[in-house]
Amino acid sequence: MEAGTLLETAGGRLTAVRTGVAAPPPGAEPLRGLTVPGLADTHSHAFHRALRGTVQRGSGTFWTWREAMYSVADRLTPDGYFELARAVYAEMALAGVTCVGEFHYLHHGPGGTPYGDPNAMGHALIAAAADAGLRITLLDTCYLASGLLTAHRGAEPDRHQLRFTDGTADAWAGRVCALRPSGDHVRVGAAIHSVRAVPAAELGTVSRWARERDAPLHVHLSEQPAENDACLAVHGRTPARLLADHGVLGPRTTAVHATHLADADIALLGGTGTGVCMCPTTERDLADGIGPAADLMRAGSPLSLGSDSHAVIDLLEEARAMELDERLRTRTRGHWTAAQLLHSATASGHAALGWPEAGRLEPGRLADFTTIALDSVRTAGPPPRLAVETAVFAATAADVRHTVVGGRHVVRDGVHRSVPDVPAALADAIGQGVRR
């Protein structure tokens, strides 16, 4: 019998990690497989899960996909969003995710009318995460314009985007300041939707709000060449340079996608220690392109991973896709080790979401971890010493056996403890709350 590792927990934290244990002590909970730190889904739009299958028909572009996304956003209510997000977060838990970064910009009612509680949609997401057993960083997103217009102001939001906007960055900050969630599973950060959606004059307000609270700050960056072209035409500089000039970049900031960057942009992100969240399954689903992840890493940017539009929810797939996409781009292999890819999916993601005490199996850290089966049809065969390589390059979300958050089982033997039928919950939430 192979020696194992004993994880001891108390008060939701790891108190000891003992290796080389010949047999579990009486009362220990066996976790058969490879147990790793809980996975962090650094970039999520929960309501995009309702698009799965419907936007994979035919052709089109990111911009035609966006119209389908708007049609879903138009129909969501706080109650419907709670049910959908609860099911989506339960799906994440089944996939080994213990913490999600929700890039949240669906704030108001139809036509932009605020709810009685201006943060009703945010509270729905926070409650959904609690019910599904996940930690959440609600990245409350400033979204003010439909595009770049002049150096001083953006184009007016269209009818779909009225639900997203607070009008000004000051009004956004006032609403977020009133968001005071309860529960130790939640932290609040900030997000700039993009340089398309937040005029340059407003960027500093969002950045300052995050800096004063030492909160994470995320931003969609250079996801599309059209964004770069418009920014160059209006501001005479790239989106990355514009963000740097307004104090947005830095170690607390995570740029999402960063697909279409100039060499100077890569140096700027790396030199400021700005993190980058890659979302390979979404980027390939939308035909966005392959971002320069390896170059960003070499420049000094920590890399994390997200499932973004939830074409699939599988952080193991995101991890290996980053390496495999780079192989396709360069026609060479071995840009990251399996351990480095796993680090991006765990410790790096938690750090980007403002949970630095998670993401490692060490005493004093949060007792958040997941166990990946090594005896499935995908993972059986390799020797134990190659367990990490097997998990990262062969396992899928279907191989997750247990997910533990704060020392408590959220998923045991592949079954979610509080949402026992996740497929039915997803089907009901999408069918009743979105497609009615």
Q: Name the residues annotated as catalytic.
A: 257, 308
Contact criterion met (CB below 8 Å) for 3 and 24 = no
Inter-CA distances, 73 with 111, 136, 259, 344, Å? 12, 21, 25, 30
H helices of 145-248, where?
A: 169-177, 200-213, 225-235, 239-245
Q: Which residues of 318-343 are buried (b: 16+ CB within 10 A; e: fewer)?
A: bbbbbbebbeeeeeeeebbebebbbb
Nearest Cα neighbor of 413 from 98, 26, 29 is 29
H helices of 272-310, where?
A: 280-285, 293-299
Helix (H) or strand (E) holding 78: helix 78-94
Q: Residue 10: which region, alpha, beta or left (left: phi > 0; alpha: psi -120 to 50)?
A: beta
Nearest Cα neighbor of 101 from 349, 406, 433, 331 is 349
- CA distance from start to end of the chain: 55
Residue matched to tokens 């497609």: 435
Contact criterion met (CB below 8 Å) for 50 and 84 = yes
